[in-house]
Structure 1
Amino acid sequence: MKFIKLVLLFCLFLNFTFLSNAQTPSMIKGDAIYLNPYKGNDTNAGTKESPLKTLSEAAKRVNKASGVGTITVYLSSGIYGMNETADFNPVNQKFTKTNRLIIRAEILPDDISWSPSDMPILISTMSFSVEKDDKGQVTGGQNFGILIQNSHATIQGLRVLGEPVHENPSKGMLIRNYPIVWEGKDLEDLRITQCLFLGDKFASPNHLGVLASGKALEVDHCVFYGVKDAVVMWKNPASNASMHHNLIINSYGGIVWTWSATNDFKFYNNVISNANVLWILDKDEKESFLIENSIIVGYNSYVNKGGGAHGFGENANPEKLKIAKDVILKKEGKLEIIEDQTDKFYLHIKAGTLGSNLGAGLFTK
């Protein structure tokens, strides 16, 4: 009888252990993690056949990795509600310039079968941290969508929205969503490419596409449409940074903030239309910058200095921006944009019109 009881207890123990292991998220299998917002589950293995559901869970799996080598997070098409920050902080995984952390769409814009509806859509639904002034009065709040705390990372092929909130709920208060944030010490090499940042200042404000603090930031072949601020470099000497082949339309903030950028910052083959402020320098106007082979049509302010979340600073010395001979700069006017959502070139410059020859937009081929 005692023997039978021992056997039964042993069987129960094995069954409990099996169930516990089955319900515990596994480590990364291989070098890839797959996501599907409809078929996925965050208790799954994260394989193509058994995908995760959320990007935040993918970040937690990456953060458990240990070793050297590329890790790629693949997002299938669909809508990803970001109810918490996807915080990538893999302290035990070593990435390099060639062995990277890659967060990308399964189907990229240069694929023959790609259409705009294939882009994975990220929209923030998370709460905001509370910010108070010296008197204890609430002045606003912020949240981060994707937070990258490591070097050598690429984000590619995503459609990134803001958050459907009231950006200015009361006088002096500002709440804002930062979809992609690069934050940490001594970071180097972040590339944001072939991403579509979409916003509407009334329905779904997208406050700032890319907030970066590190060296060798590269933002290329992205479209920023209706976004308040496109790119802000705000901490550390941001040397060897670049923005090229981007299309920026209807910005109601500042196109690029070079608070921490050094004068080797490269800005070329960008097309800009209907901008509020073209460029914002740090308050001391320490550096000068060169604009090359770009088209800028329609802007309110040319170059400002200072500013912050609540404002765009004041007029700066216009000679701090050097304009190459191959740049078209017009204060008034607008460019022709394709608004047909069934067109592969949706939200791009209409072929044969001003700005269409510079290769700005989602396509590299």
Structure 2
Amino acid sequence: MKKVLILGLCYLMASYHVLAQQKEMIYVNANSGNDDAAGSQMTPLKSLFEAAKRVNKLAGKGSIQVFLSEGTYGLAETATFNPTQWVFSKQDRLEIRAEILPDSSAWEPNKMPIIVSTMPFKLERDDKKVITGGSNYGILIESSHATIQGLRILGEPVHEKPKAGVLVRNYPIVWEGKNLSDLRVTQCQFLGNQFALPNHLGILSNGKQLEVDHCVFYGVKDAVVMWNAPAEQSSMHHNLILNSYGAAVWTWSTTPDFKFYNNVMSGINVLWVLEKEAKNAFQIQNSMVIGYNQLVNQGGGPQDFGTPADPKKLMYGSDFVLQKTGGLSIEEDQTSRYYLQIKPGTLGTSYGAGLFYKSSNEK
């Protein structure tokens, strides 16, 4: 009898462990989905906003994956992911990702899910109630251990500067909260147009262990800003940043262990913006800049890019190619696998920057 009880207890404990380590999957299809559906692969949801609501209601621990099919996902309001009753880990993560990823043989540029914000802006006013600006968030992550992968992320059709001193801006991806760690944004494409579809800032990050890799930022004002919390153990690598009318990276809150390597940049207004006091220095490894206005500034904010800083605050060796003028050969054929990336075999391809984990030479 005792053996039966012990075996039964072990079975129950094993069953509980299996149940406790869950793997939730939610599917979203902008073309065929329905927000009243179950969210399965056969009956997907329609909107990212509804997917976020479903995620936030879940309780347990393990991984949660949100799969987006190809299509256009308009955000009429912020998609906030804040699953307070769920426990993630480094291995078991919150993943918001394309159903087909760039390294798949089935992937084509037109397969990327497109995220575009169309929401009203939260207005900012001074003491006299005069509007001084406005802002909104597209995808807001309020959790640790999250990954965003394989998405094409646009700005918002807005007139950014309606009058002097007023700036209206969209932040497509924001990571914000207390004591956050471990966000990875990978294989995403951030596209913008300064006049028609401004993409003010690709990634606004408040936490440690941020990793941005294999992303393409094309025509975006600012690529990545780390602010408001010590961005320890963070990195940017294998990214392609093109035609930026702001700055490639802002290290307002970043610690000196920040790793910056295998990034390729061209047509950059400012490469790097330091914190106001410019206390920290940073190392650049195995990267390239072809065409820029200013190398390193300090201070700044939404309205400006600060003032020139000591160029010695950026440390680099002979593996950093720095050229004041010039450009790269970018693929503009929309049917090409390398659309809006460096043409294979041309200047810059040896760094492996772009959407693919494997370089064109390895394929």
SS in structure 1 at match of 2:54:
helix
Q: Distance in 1 between matches of 2:271 and 2:246?
A: 9
- Which one of the candidate residues 43, 48, 51 is aligned to 1:58? 51
Equivalent position of 1:134 in the other structure:
127
Question: Does 2:64 match 1:71?
Answer: yes
Which of residues 199, 204, 211 in structure 2 aligns to 1:211? 204
- Residue equivalent to 1:301: 294
Q: Where does residue 263 of structure 2 map in the other structure? A: 270
Percent identical among aligned pairs is 63
Give the secondary structure class of the aligned counterpart of 1:353: coil
Which one of the candidate residues 304, 313, 324 is aligned to 2:306?
A: 313
Deviations 1:108-160 (A, max 9, x none): 00000110000000000000001012332101100000000000000000000
Max Rg structure = 1
CA distance in 1, matches of 2:29, 2:23: 18
State the match for 2:34 in structure 1. 41
Report the secondary structure of 1:70's partner residue.
strand
Provide TM-score, normalisation by structure 2.
Answer: 0.92
Equivalent residue for 2:103?
Answer: 110
Is 1:187 the counterpart of 2:215? The answer is no
Q: 2:352 aligns with which of 329, 345, 359?
A: 359
**Unpaired segments ≥5 residues, structure 1:** 1-28
Aligned AA for 2:29? N
Equivalence map 1:332-343=2 (5 Å): 332-343=325-336
In 2, the alpha carbon distance for the partners of 1:41 and 1:179 equals: 24
Candidates 337, 340, 343, aligned match of 1:344? 337
Pairing partner for 1:230 from 223, 232, 235: 223
Asked if structure 1 preserves the Cα contact closer than 8 Å seen for 2:236 and 2:261, the reply is yes
Question: Shift of residue 354 of structure 1?
Answer: 1.3
Deviation at 1:324, TM superposition (A): 2.2
1:105 Cα deviation after fit = 0.2
Classify the secondary structure of the residue corresponding to 1:58: helix
- 1:325 and 1:285 map into 2 onto residues whose CA distance is 24
Q: 1:17 corresponds to which residue?
A: none
Question: What do residues 213-251 of structure 1 show as CA deviations (whole Å, max 9, x unaligned)?
Answer: 100000000000000000000111100000000000000
Matched, 1:292 2:285: yes
Amino acid at match of 1:294: S
Displacement of 1:30 in angstroms is: 5.7
- 1:357 match: secondary structure: helix
1:173 aligns with 2:135: no
- Give distance in 2, aligned partners of 1:270 and 1:121: 24
- Give aligned pairs, total: 337
Q: Which residue matches 1:199? A: 192
Letter in 2 for 1:223: V
TM-score, normalising length from structure 1?
A: 0.91
What is the CA–CA distance in structure 2 between the aligned matches of 1:183 and 1:210, rounded to whole Å?
11
Name the CA distance, whole Å, in 1 between partners of 2:98 and 2:345: 29
- 2:220 counterpart letter in structure 1: V
Which amino acid in structure 1 is aligned with residue 104 of structure 2? D
Partner AA of 1:89 in structure 2 = N
Report the equivalent of 2:148: 155
Q: Report the 3-state secondary structure (helix = DSSP H, G, I; strand = E; otherwise coil) of the residue aligned with 1:57.
A: helix
CA contact (8 A) 2:141 2:174 kept: yes
Distance 1:36 1:30 in 2: 20
Aligned equivalent of 1:81, options 58, 74, 78? 74
CA displacement 1:154-206 (0-9 Å, x = unmatched): 00000000001111111211100000000000000000000000000001000
Determine if contact 1:290/1:324 at 8 Å carries over to the other structure. no
Is the Cα–Cα contact under 8 Å of residues 97 and 148 in structure 2 kept in the other structure?
A: yes
C-alpha distance in structure 2 between counterparts of 1:277 and 1:53, whole Å: 39
Q: Distance in 1 between matches of 2:317 and 2:117?
A: 39
The more displaced of 162-171 and 241-250 is: 162-171
Mapped contact 1:245–1:359 kept (Cα < 8 A)? yes
CA contact (8 A) 1:241 1:265 kept: yes
